[in-house]
Structure 1
């Protein structure tokens, strides 16, 4: 059968029935722009803390349309930023607290999902990280030491021990960390939208916000006035006036196979439903899905000129081919399994690769995001933090180092496009360089990391 391309993502077996648009001018106590994870979690915790609040969410398309319904399904404690840089400005103890809060948020999402009857297919199998050449193995060993310095539990695995979990081809070394659950991301987003509606939150879909000002959010069908307006637009933020260079919409692509027969799974393993990634510069991320497919992603076309975004998840055919090649290289057992779906979406990358959460009490404007691809769990912590900030509650999470963090804007075009394209070409060359048997990271990649200020 032919591969489905786009149609938002494979995680939506059918697109949801749309909620009504904003029907003219309205008032609320809190307006949230964006019905992805960040906006939905913020509404959830606000409404539970104060049921009297009138909360309205404005969404351009439908709940989960953006990265929340297209990601790799890693409910992970990965930090959306550089812990060393944060420690220099805020102190090591605050960064350790941030890491613990993210790890605990994995369980928080699972507990809320169980309480609200959201079946997101969550299995907390942890993450298996693999290396497939000596340079990758050196980085993997350094990462193990780094994670332990930040209080994370990590188990080093030999080639044989890794193969007992999953029969990947060409693995040199690996490690496992428990702080991750496999989920079906769109099921979480849609279930969470239903949950906040049950609590009394109003969601207006088909209501793209074209301007945010203190006290109001403007759509083409009306203006929502509220003393608190929170922006939760992640990769679509550059479309808003005055924010075109605030965050870069980084593109990430995925494919999913047809369901894989039980006899092939018997040869592969993957019984623990671990999420899987590697230490290449052009890394992949993968999961065994609820319905026994393999979903795998990477960044073939990382950025489109002028901060443009995709059209409903459509991805270049060559990207589907490249991801298919990666899958067949690491798991030749599935070479005869057709690819069912290819799609893409955007995530937000601040110029310093540091996410943030903030509320200006003078203007009533707040925001959260810039998760650099680690937002599935971070959005829950951000939503709880925004809720505490709105309610003027001084809590441990409002004292975490990303609260109030601001990044400088990205460079104007064409510098932005030339820079990102050149850097990712450098990473691709570095991966080729390392396949020749180098025992350490290619100097090409080291220079690229310095230029991007990307966390190591």
Structure 2
């Protein structure tokens, strides 16, 4: 099915209108902190730093406009979830510290909601549950395993519950649903509204955001751009999925593509067939998993990986995605919700998210160079970026806090392989995932071993 609009950043901007550009860097300047990237990570960092130390001279430089990247294109899941490997963090930390990080992630939902309310940011925030569904036996087995793992890692009993097929269907009438689990305490947001409101808040605090300013190099004490240089003792690299575009960082984080489609508004009669009265965030336990939400104005967004990676870590052009990806996402939508088969697709778009070699997020500050960073969220950036902002605040101000002692802080992993190895690895992984899902959908009674092979290829 063709989408009426493909690209033009995202549907979220079609909903509110594209912004006009702020002025670029006016030439050489000096600052106490220079933040590269005006997405959630950079803006939250500026917000918390300026709140803590109003006298700080902070400058934010951005190649496009604030919220151009993943912050304005994501699925709108303010989840506070922990989607990384606890065992990998455990190798360099303790169980208690990993639980503390998990608890800190949960707290990001309340923190973002409170900040939005305090600053008058209207981002269509609605507190909802996250519903993860299973539509065949292997998926149900994985759902049960994920539920048990969460409980084993001290997820509070009031935050999680396993649902029968009937209980799951009562929430959303998913085809062939076998069961699932819910995580409570999450929220749905309109991501472009959130990042636009956050940018405006940061400006009101006295932090300039210089747009249309391309960073050419980062080094100790200096950010070189096409509009001039910023000299600052502290530099924050807040570029997430675009990090590979900065010289010297080409293999640090892989820019993984994720795409979405959004339907035309759903009629009341069709909503009556689908259910979804709780506006839950919807995902599944397929290997090539999906993510969906019911929007403020009554549409359905469906997201997934599609064509997962462009050779040489290239990124998209203003969110335009491939027809193959649109077809795959539409197929997922009507597989889960065949009631939607007649709905038109109003918009399709894509973006990139940062993926470290071990698929686990990090934040830190190199005291020798003064260069700080946060990202590699692997798709959990709406909430993780808020924790990043508070953690980087404490690191930059030299505070020893509970946040700076979490196991993701100053954690470094090896780089991705050079091309063509990383292209072959990522595409092989997702091709194996698709085959594994197809076999399970066709009746395989256990998780396909192909998925385990896929994980071993890239360390997922």
Fold conserved (TM > 0.5)? yes
Matched, 1:53 2:56: yes
Q: Does 1:5 align with 2:1?
A: no
Q: Pick from 177, 196, 215: which aligns with 2:183?
A: 177
Name which of structure 1's ranges 158-167 and 74-83 shifts more when overlaid on structure 2.
74-83
Moved more, 184-193 or 255-264: 255-264
Return the match for 2:450 from 424, 444, 450.
Answer: 444
Q: Is 1:32 matched with 2:35?
A: yes
How much does 1:267 deviate? 2.0
Q: Distance in 1 between matches of 2:330 and 2:202?
A: 38
Q: 1:268 aligns with which of 268, 274, 298?
A: 274
1:16-415 → structure 2 map (5 Å cutoff): 16-152=19-155, 153-415=159-421
Question: 2-side partners of 1:176 and 1:80: how far apart?
Answer: 15
Distance 1:167 1:428 in 2: 24
Q: Partners in 1 of 2:191 and 2:152 — Cα distance?
A: 30
Gaps of 5+ in 1: none
The answer to whether the 8 Å contact 1:80/1:378 transfers is no
- Structure 2 unaligned segments of length 5 or more: list them: none
* In structure 2, C-alpha distance between the alignment counterparts of 1:392 and 1:266, rounded to whole Å: 54
Q: How far apart are the structure 2 equivalents of 1:123 and 1:354?
A: 28
Counterpart CA distance in 1 for 2:402 and 2:3 is 51
Deviation at 1:110, TM superposition (A): 0.6
What is the alpha-carbon distance in structure 1 between the residues aligned to residue 344 and residue 430 of structure 2? 29
What SS class does the counterpart of residue 11 from structure 2 fall into? coil
How far the C-alpha of 1:2 sits from its partner, in A, is: 5.5
CA change 1:80–1:154 in 2 (3 A) is closer
Q: Is the 8 A contact 1:212 1:218 kept in 2?
A: yes
Structure 1 runs (4+) greater than 3 angstroms displaced: none
Distance 1:36 1:199 in 2: 17
The 2-side partners of 1:85 and 1:334 are apart by 40
CA shift at 1:270, angstroms? Answer: 1.1
SS at match of 1:4: strand
Contact 1:73 1:185 in 2 (8 A): yes
Q: What is the TM-score with the length of structure 1 in the denominator?
A: 0.98
User: In the TM superposition, what whole-angstrom CA distance separates every residue of 1:86-123 from its partner, at most 9, and x where no partner exists?
Assistant: 12320100000000000011110011011111111111
Output the TM-score relative to the length of structure 2.
0.97
Contact kept, 8 Å, 1:80 with 1:355, in 2: the verdict is: no
**Deviation per CA, 1:312-363, whole angstroms, max 9, x where unpaired?**
0000112112211211121122222211000000000000111111111222
Q: Distance in 2 between matches of 1:331 and 1:275?
A: 14
How many equivalent residue pairs? 454
User: Structure 1 CA distance, aligned partners of 2:317 and 2:211?
Assistant: 18
Distance 1:166 1:264 in 2: 12
Once residues 103 and 259 of structure 1 are traced to their aligned partners in structure 2, the CA distance between those partners, rounded to angstroms, is 32
1:436 Cα shift?
2.5
Give 3-state SS (helix, strand or coil) of 1:229's partner. strand
2:18 to 11, 15, 19: 15
Determine the C-alpha separation between the residues in 2 that align with 1:138 and 1:20. 53
1:60–1:208 CA contact under 8 A, matched in 2: yes
Is the 2:32–2:57 Cα contact (8 Å) retained in structure 1?
yes
Contact 1:215/1:227 (8 A) holds in 2? yes
Distance in 2 (CA, whole Å) between partners of 1:208 and 1:271 is: 44
For 1:271 and 1:113, the matched residues in 2 are separated by 24
What per-residue deviation string (whole Å, max 9, x for no partner) do you get for residues 380-404 of structure 1? 0011000100100111010000000
